[in-house]
Structure 1
């Protein structure tokens, strides 16, 4: 099973160090979250920089809020990054749930699911080299991966997980092992229902912080601020894994559920965590 690193958002300039250390270690993927009305780096721009500083490790959005973006431009950006990295882009997509993000983007919150479905239809067509329509020709470049970059969908409700089978290649579960197993089963069931070959790729995400007390305290504070809008910030922070043994147990548990990859998401900005996580594994 592969293990990736979810990058912190608190110090964008430090992410080059994170990326180089991760590539030198046992890690498979660099992940970066997406928000609009928040103090975080724009993920496609940031991951393009990190991809240029590395040669092996994959770069992944987890998840990019596609409904906030223009569809044709997003298709072009993703295809460009996939082509220039030799197919190292994994495009994790979701609808988001923050009112302020949608207000600023001018996209009604109530239409985000339908908008994402429409976006996927257009992007799949463009990535295959077809015309956009209405007299507009194809939009290049073609991605390195035929049909477009690998697509993961994140979410918790059946309608969100169904998109894995309709449009995607896999499912991203930001949930602990006790909950993720049921979500994985739902993704597999939709996959069979749609007659897809093989199995969906299953990716888990768990929040971690390894290091001295100040590293753990910083991670807890950052997580609390990020999840404050949910009203469940304390619950989320309580799930933060802060010991090597806890990290290993989670990775083992996800492996038992059939996960193909686990993303160890970091909120503390100390890049030494990359080496500590490598040692823990």
Structure 2
């Protein structure tokens, strides 16, 4: 199933936006995780509140700042959200792109190589702490748990925000989804050079590459009328009318295997509620209909 989400802002209006996204039939809302910034609510506090205000939409921290959120506790927090919401949570994980900023919170500053190894350990630990069964003991380089009972709920989908070759390989070995960095899309060099690393690592681990979906963070404008061009000279998507968006995203799914999209509106003066409405009520239904019509 192709997933359609919306990236929430960091004001109190994010709750109203989440309710609107839920009412308008989107699959997912997401918030970023920068706990060293005082002007942003804690990502998991926000997700917990907005899931309590909605009925069907899932929540994603895009992506969890792993150096500041130890994997065993993160697993417990997400399993609690899953239990209380009927599984309406997706776990986003990242090695931590701003390691020096994370260290300002008092955690040890990892090297980039250590951060990737910690990411892989975290994915192993988190998965082990779901699904019930025997108590888990794990003694790794970064995480240790002893005789810890897994939560009796299924593991959530795990999506990573991997960028470098080593973390891309971790994604291929363990993840359910990949969010390309720097708002890269299906026509970008970043996608063309990164996705093969994921696929090769998945095959080496005995997995099907298709089981790792690609979910794009997309920026751009949704305009009232069509634009003469929808990409800038560098090839970056800039947006267009709802019909232009629908045509582009349908092609991304049918021709390039896109697994989903999270829309982040451009700061072009359009009220967030208007941009969200255009995305959820005009673009997404057209793409869903086109994909459905093309299905065998």
Given the two structures, how large is their TM-score scaled by the length of structure 1? 0.78
Q: Which has the larger radius of gyration?
A: 2
Determine if the alignment matches structure 1 residue 189 to structure 2 residue 200.
Answer: yes
| Aligned-partner Cα distance in 2 for 1:96–1:136 | 26
| Aligned-partner Cα distance in 2 for 1:46–1:272 | 22
Aligned equivalent of 2:274, options 272, 275, 279: 272
Alignment of 1:1-281 (within 5 A): 1-9=2-10, 11=11, 13-38=12-37, 39-98=39-98, 99-110=100-111, 111-129=114-132, 130-132=135-137, 136-139=146-149, 141-142=151-152, 144-145=153-154, 148-173=155-180, 174-179=183-188, 180-197=191-208, 199-210=211-222, 241=239, 244=242, 247-248=245-246, 250-255=248-253, 256-266=255-265, 268=267, 270-277=272-279, 278-281=281-284
Change (3 A) 1:132 1:159: same
| Aligned-partner Cα distance in 2 for 1:60–1:182 | 26
CA contact (8 A) 2:136 2:150 kept: no
Q: CA shift at 1:247, angstroms?
A: 3.5
| Aligned-partner Cα distance in 2 for 1:164–1:257 | 19
5+ residue gaps, structure 1, are 213-234
Change (3 A) 1:44 1:132: farther
Which stretch shows the higher mean deviation, 164-173 or 124-133?
124-133
Count of aligned positions: 253
| Aligned-partner Cα distance in 1 for 2:266–2:59 | 18
Q: CA shift at 1:210, angstroms?
A: 4.3
Deviations 1:224-277 (A, max 9, x none): xxxxxxxxxxx99x8654654564354234322101111112365722221122
What's 1:218 paired with?
none
| Aligned-partner Cα distance in 2 for 1:122–1:187 | 21
CA contact (8 A) 1:68 1:101 kept: yes
Q: CA shift at 1:135, angstroms?
A: 8.6
Given the two structures, how large is their TM-score scaled by the length of structure 2? 0.75
What's 2:287 paired with?
none
Q: CA RMSD in A?
A: 2.8
| Aligned-partner Cα distance in 1 for 2:276–2:71 | 35
5+ residue gaps, structure 2, are 139-143, 225-232, 285-296
In structure 1, the residue corresponding to 2:172 is in which secondary structure? Answer: helix
In structure 1, the residue corresponding to 2:200 is in which secondary structure? Answer: helix
Change (3 A) 1:18 1:52: same
| Aligned-partner Cα distance in 2 for 1:249–1:135 | 49
Change (3 A) 1:69 1:264: same
Q: CA shift at 1:72, angstroms?
A: 2.2
Change (3 A) 1:158 1:48: same
CA contact (8 A) 2:131 2:151 kept: no
Higher fraction of helix: 1
